[in-house]
Amino acid sequence: MRPKKPMLRALAGERLPVPPVWLMRQAGRYLPEYRAVRAQAGSFLDLCYRPELAAEVTLQPIRRYGFDAAILFADILLVPQALGAELRFAEGEGPRLSTVTGAGDLARLKPAGAIHERLGPVYETVARVAAELPPETALIGFAGAPWTVATYMIAGRGTPDQAPARMLLYRDPATFDALIERITDATILYLSRQIEAGAESVKLFDSWAGALPGPLFGRYCIEPARRIVAAIRAAHPSVPVIGFPRGAGGGYAAFAAATGVDCCALDAAVDPAWAAAEIQPRLCVQGNLDPLLLVAGGTALDAATRACVEAFSGGPHVFNLGHGITPDAAPANVERMLAAIRG
């Protein structure tokens, strides 16, 4: 039976006259109602682990804008924390983790199957949101891709060029490969449990895929994603998977062809004409408006939004940004973007 929700119809390969739309980081600091709940929570991690508050911020942009999909409010670094890494968020500086720089650090991590004890509140959030969403709105679960999660676990923080992760890969490939394996196994279990709790699609965020040198892109971006997609499809054959290898450039085509994803999310640097010719004939594409346009607004936003819709009008398309909405985006500009999409 064809799924009736517009988001799921597009992910199944259907071309719709008006593309479904949601935004990466649509629950976030640009919304005053989010900031109020964030202050109530006390800390970012407390917000992630309090299901009543995490569900509330997940639902806020649906109430305000009527997006076609909600995405679970959580963070990609909850998985390493569930594996035993120490995690905190330094105000104004981002995440800080204990590091994995050798076999001894890896040995101290928990097995993949132990993650559920820590992540129970996340699954409760999924169930709460699934119960409260409008019937036409889809629910997306997500996780960070193994390479991207590994970069944080190795460096202990975000880095400009992911050099610490690449250095461990070169100097100690056995430890690096074992870490990727552990994250991959945990990610499969994590996404499967989100689906069991009510997620109707899942997304894999490989935010630092573009930092992988060419020969390593296939091994550490494509291959773990292929394994995850295959496992999800075996356990949950009706649940579509979205992949986002940000910064992959020409590697997007290989990623779309080799991983088995149902939809390939595109960053803002990808030429829509190229993606429409090389990727969209094979599967749904998602994206790829420049997030800065939701700060700039005006006729530039109108024109770029319409151009994106038109560029992908020949096949299945989910309208989204090329990366997450920024804290300085104007809520009114989101409304303006939606008006340009939906007429």
pLDDT of residue 324: 97
pLDDT tier for residue 2 given thresholds of 50, 70 and 90: low
pLDDT of residue 77: 98
pLDDT of residue 29: 96
Mind listing the pLDDT tens digit for each residue in 119-178? 999 999 999 999 999 999 999 999 999 999 999 999 999 999 999 999 999 999 999 999
Mind listing the pLDDT tens digit for each residue in 230-278? 999 999 999 999 999 999 999 999 999 999 999 999 999 999 999 999 9
Q: Which domains does the chain have, with CATH numbers?
A: 6-342 (3.20.20.210)
pLDDT of residue 300: 98
**Catalytic site positions:** 25, 29, 38, 75, 152
Mind listing the pLDDT tens digit for each residue in 323-343? 999 999 999 999 999 999 998
Task: Determine how many CB atoms are found less than 10 A away from the CB of residue 243.
Answer: 30
Tell whether the model's pLDDT for residue 90 goes beyond 90. Answer: no
Calculate ∠ Cα 58-315-283, nearest 5°. Answer: 70
pLDDT of residue 165: 98
- Alpha helices for the chain (secondary structure H): 6-11, 32-41, 44-49, 51-65, 78-82, 103-107, 116-132, 146-155, 163-171, 173-197, 214-217, 223-235, 251-259, 272-278, 293-296, 298-311, 331-342
Identity (one letter) of the amino acid at 72?
L
Percent of the chain with pLDDT over 70: 99
- Residue 88, phi then psi, degrees to nearest 5: -145, 160
Q: How far apart are CA 284 and CA 306, in angstroms?
A: 18
pLDDT tier for residue 37 given thresholds of 50, 70 and 90: very high
Tell whether the model's pLDDT for residue 1 goes beyond 60. Answer: no
pLDDT tier for residue 3 given thresholds of 50, 70 and 90: low
Mind listing the pLDDT tens digit for each residue in 271-320? 999 999 999 999 999 999 999 999 999 999 999 999 999 999 999 999 99
Percent of the chain with pLDDT over 90: 96
Q: How far apart are CA 316 and CA 312, in angstroms?
A: 8
On whether the CB atoms of residues 203 and 190 are closer than 8 A, the answer is no
Tell whether the model's pLDDT for residue 91 goes beyond 70. Answer: yes
Mean pLDDT of the chain: 97
pLDDT of residue 21: 98
Q: What interhelical angle do 331-342 and 51-65 show, nearest 10?
A: 50
At residue 123, the 3 state secondary structure works out as helix
At residue 266, the 3 state secondary structure works out as coil
